[in-house]
Amino acid sequence: MTTTHAYAATDAQSKLAPFEFQRRELREHDVHIEVLFCGVCHSDLHQARNEWKNTMFPVVPGHEIVGRVTKVGPKVSKYKAGDLVGVGCLVDSCRTCASCQEGLEQYCENGFVGTYNGQDRVTGAVTYGGYSTQLVVDEAFVLRVPENLDPAGVAPLLCAGITTYSPLRTWGAGPGKKVGIVGLGGLGHMGVKLAHAMGAHVVLFTTSPSKIDDAKRLGADEVVISKNQAEMDAHANSFDLIVNTVAAQHDLNPFINLLKRDGTLTLVGAPEHDHPSPQVFNLIMKRRRLAGSLIGGIAETQEMLDFCGKHGITSDIEMIPMQKINEAYERMLKSDVKYRFVIDLDSLRK
Ligand code: NAP
Ligand code: ZN
Ligand code: ZN
């Protein structure tokens, strides 16, 4: 067992505060990781505040993790001490259901084990995430980090990156396709970078006029202020795919109107309260589709990391010490982050 320093929320109302616990002894296939960096996802905030009504307290959030392997169990074959690795939102699944067999562990029919706020399949213990100095994970759920990328900028790829990469791939983003990304936050800015690298024509929708220049620098061909009706109307019936990352309830009709025949609006944003149902005729008249997408499986996450290595893609980050996490949450709620907070875990080792 190793004493681990962390930050946890003890109930939905209180701020995150220092917390100590023991990581488990290494099992045969386990990898012990010294956590270097952990991204701050809006899902961390949703769960720390129990907005999805399923949080087991105390909760140690964090599922955008990059670290160094320090020890491995006797049957580990993929990793050795010194390797730079990543861990995302998943640390286990049943590995036998149809989804797991297809490498879609995030849709495990018996329920995947989340990196935090999950339950270990062996002991039933609640899992604790990457707002902590160390981590123990089965090698099957550990990713290899391309050595040419800045490790702090890689951390957000493990959730924000794969959550946008997967729907872009599923719905065929690429040359000749017009792809919209809604919201320029952690997920949205990765969506813009990835869709651009895939060769699509990228349009970013934002509620923040101050982000126009950044969106273009990140790879958007066009930027639309989503509250401006004339700007929205100019894109009617023209999109193959729109990926919506917004973290709050809103009207989906204005975006569905922008899809061409057979176009798809994919929801990845997971707000506390559901969006109102869109108008049915808006869907049936052009055979438009409304879809959802959850992170990505392990194989696709590795594919995404390798894609980012090849294209030199990382997240734009603002590094913070662990002690600033509560301020970071407040700023994230105001859409005031460019474009992902990343925690430097050295701040907990001092
Ligand atoms: P984030 O950094 O806070 O970005 C969300 C963005 O949405 C904001 O930057 C803002 O962009 C826009 N926005 C926020 N409030 C809005 C409002 N009231 N109306 C319109 N736009 C608004 O959050 P994130 O970390 O990217 O996460 C986004 C959402 O995805 C969260 O709900 C998170 O839980 C969810 N998520 C889902 C998955 C999945 O697997 N499906 C994985 C990870 C995260 P502008 O300023 O540009 O308008
Ligand atoms: Zn996340
Ligand atoms: Zn399964």
What is the rounded CA–CA span in Å between residue 312 and residue 331?
A: 28
To test ligand 1's pocket by mutation, which of 187, 203, 232, 318 has the most ligand atoms within 8 angstroms of CB? 187
In this predicted model, what pLDDT tens digit does every residue of 301-314 receive, in sequence order? 999 999 999 999 99
Q: Which domain holds residue 133?
A: 2-159+297-307+314-349
Q: What is the predicted pLDDT for the residue at 1?
A: 75
**Residue 125 identity:** A
Supply the DSSP string of 168-191, one letter for each residue.
Answer: HHHTT-STT-EEEEE--SHHHHHH
Say if residue 272 is in the same domain as residue 198: yes
What Rg value do the Cα atoms of the chain yield, rounded? 20
CA distance 155 to 162: 11
Q: How far is the CA of 105 from the centre of ligand 3 (A)?
A: 6
Axis-axis angle for helices 160-170, 298-311 (nearest 10)? 100
Indicate the average pLDDT of the chain: 97
- Domains contained in the chain, number: 2
Asked if residue 238 has its Cβ within 6 Å of ligand 1, the reply is no
Pocket lining: 41 vs ligand 1, CB cutoff 6 Å: yes
Distance 138 CA to ligand 3 centre (A): 15
- Quote the pLDDT of residue 2: 81
Q: For a ligand 1 pocket test, name from 168, 193, 203, 207 the mutation site with the most ligand atoms within 8 angstroms of its C-beta.
A: 207
State the greatest distance between any 2 C-alpha atoms of the chain, in Å, as a whole number.
63
The verdict on 188 and 258 lying in the same domain is: yes
Q: Do 237 and 152 belong together in one domain?
A: no
> Do residues 318 and 281 both lie within one domain?
no
Kindly state whether residues 104 and 167 are assigned to the same domain. Answer: no
Q: Parallel, antiparallel, or unpaired: how do β-strands 340-344 and 317-321 relate?
A: parallel
Task: Tell whether 14 and 140 lie within a shared domain.
Answer: yes
Give residues with Cβ within 8 angstroms of 102, minimum separation 6: 297
pLDDT of residue 350: 79
Task: Convert the pLDDT of each residue in 55-73 to its tens digit.
Answer: 999 999 999 999 999 999 9
Q: How many CB atoms lie within 10 A of CB 20?
A: 11
Residues 147 and 183 in one domain: no
Q: How far is the CA of 250 from the centre of ligand 2 (A)?
A: 20
142 and 259 co-located in one domain: no
CA-closest candidate to residue 182, choices 284, 332, 335, 44: 335
Pair 102, 173 in one domain: no
* pTM given for the model: 0.98
**Closest ligand by atom to 159 CA:** 2
Q: What is the chain's pLDDT, residue by residue, as a tens digit (350 residues)?
A: 789 999 999 999 999 999 999 999 999 999 999 999 999 999 999 999 999 999 999 999 999 999 999 999 999 999 999 999 999 999 999 999 999 999 999 999 999 999 999 999 999 999 999 999 999 999 999 999 999 999 999 999 999 999 999 999 999 999 999 999 999 999 999 999 999 999 999 999 999 999 999 999 999 999 999 999 999 999 999 999 999 999 999 999 999 999 999 999 999 999 999 999 999 999 999 999 999 999 999 999 999 999 999 999 999 999 999 999 999 999 999 999 999 999 999 999 97
Collect contacts of 216-221 with beta carbons under 8 A, ≥24 apart. 218/184, 218/189, 218/192, 218/193, 218/316, 218/339, 219/192, 219/193, 219/195, 220/181, 220/192, 220/196, 221/196
Cα of 271 vs centre of ligand 3, distance in Å, is: 26
pLDDT for res 317: 98
For position 319, which CATH number holds? 3.90.180.10
> Does residue 228 share a domain with residue 128?
no
* Closest ligand 1 atom to 246 CA: 7
Atom index in ligand 1 nearest the CA of residue 205 equals 47
Do both 274 and 323 map to the same domain? no
Q: Is the domain of 205 the same as that of 153?
A: no
Q: Which ranges of 2-124 does DSSP label H, i.e. alpha helix?
A: 42-48, 98-101
Ligand with smallest separation from the Cα of 116:
2
Q: What is the CATH number of the domain that holds 240?
A: 3.40.50.720
Ligand 2 center–CA 144 separation, angstroms: 19
